[in-house]
Amino acid sequence: MSTLNYKMHKLSLGLGIIASLLLGACSTSSTPNYYTLISSSMAIPSNSLRVIEVLPVGLPDRLDRTQIVLQEASGKSQVLDQQRWTSTLSAELRDGLSAGLQQRLGAVDRYRSGSTTTLPVYRIATDFSHFDVVRDKSGVNINVAATWTINRVQNISGTTATVQSKSQVACRIAFNTLADTKNFSEVNALVGASRQSLDRVANAIAASVLVLEGGAKLTDAVCN
C-alpha cells in the first residue's frame, strides 16, 4: 500500500469512528421528562351553577418557560432542561387555576369559549410576582406571592352591568411550601410542592368568590 493510500485509509477509519461516536451520543441522549400542575379531579356537582372567566396570569419572564427553573439561595439559577412543564409555566398556572376553581365552585370557565350567559360572571385576573423553586439550607421551597382581582359582571340585554353593591374584590397571598425531599426525589418533590402551592392559591381565590356572594370569610388571604 502506498503512503498516500495508507494515509487516506487512516483518515477514513478516523472519520468512521467519529461518526459512530456522534451517532451513539444521539441515540443515548435522554428524553425530557414532562410534568403538569393541572389537577385531574372532576368538578363537584352543584345546584348553583357559577360562570367564571380565568384570564391569563401574570408571571415574571425569568420563570415563564417550559423548563423548570431551580434557584439557589445565593441567587444563582439552574434551568433543568430535561425536567419540563407540559407548557409554559404561565399557561400551567392559568389552566391549573381554572381546573381547580371549576372543581371547587362547581363552575364552568368560559374564557376560551366566549359563550354568552345571563348568569353573573366572575372575571378573575391573577398575577404571580413569585412562583420560585428555591434550594436553601432548609431544603427545596416553593416561594409564592400572588395578587388577584375578581370582578362580578352580568350581561343584561347586550350591555355589561355590575350586580349587587359589592361587585369587586382585590386580594393577595404570600407563603412558602417545603418540598418533601425525604420521601421523594428532588424533582418529584418540587413538582408535588408546586401543585400544593397552586392548590392553596385556588382555595383562596375560590373563597374570595364566595366573599362576593356574602357567604364566606377569608382565612388565608388579605382582601379589600
Grid coordinates belonging to 9 = 485509509
Count CB atoms within 10 A of the CB of residue 131.
25
Q: Assess whether pLDDT exceeds 80 at residue 39.
A: no
Residue 70 has pLDDT above 80, yes or no: yes
Whole-model pTM: value is: 0.82
DSSP state of 29: P
> Which pLDDT band, with edges at 50, 70 and 90, does 164 fall under?
very low
CA separation for the pair 28, 155 (Å, rounded): 57
62 versus 16: the higher-pLDDT residue is: 62
Which of the two residues, 151 and 7, has the higher pLDDT score?
Answer: 151
**Range from 106-120, 162-176, 189-203 carrying the lowest mean pLDDT:** 162-176
Q: Is the pLDDT of residue 165 over 50?
A: no
Lowest-confidence region among 57-66, 99-108, 160-169? 160-169
Position 144 confidence tier, pLDDT thresholds 50, 70, 90: very high
Number of C-beta neighbours around residue 111 at 10 A: 14
What percent of the chain stands above pLDDT 70? Answer: 77
Cell 417550559 maps to which residue? 66
Name the residue with cell 387555576: 97
63 contacts 37 by C-beta, under 8 angstroms: no
| pLDDT recorded at residue 27 | 47
Chain segment 74-122, per-residue pLDDT in tens: 889 999 999 999 999 999 999 999 999 999 999 999 998 877 778 889 9
Average pLDDT over residues 26-32: 68
More confident residue, 156 or 102: 102
Bigger pLDDT: 167 or 8?
167
Q: Cα angle vertex 195, ends 189, 201, to 5°?
A: 140
Of all residues in the chain, the percent with pLDDT exceeding 90 is: 64
**Three-class SS state of 16:** helix
Among 99, 32, 167, residue whose Cα is nearest residue 111: 99
Residue 12 confidence (pLDDT)? 55
**Which pLDDT score, from 0 to 100, does residue 19 have?**
55
Mean pLDDT of the chain: 85
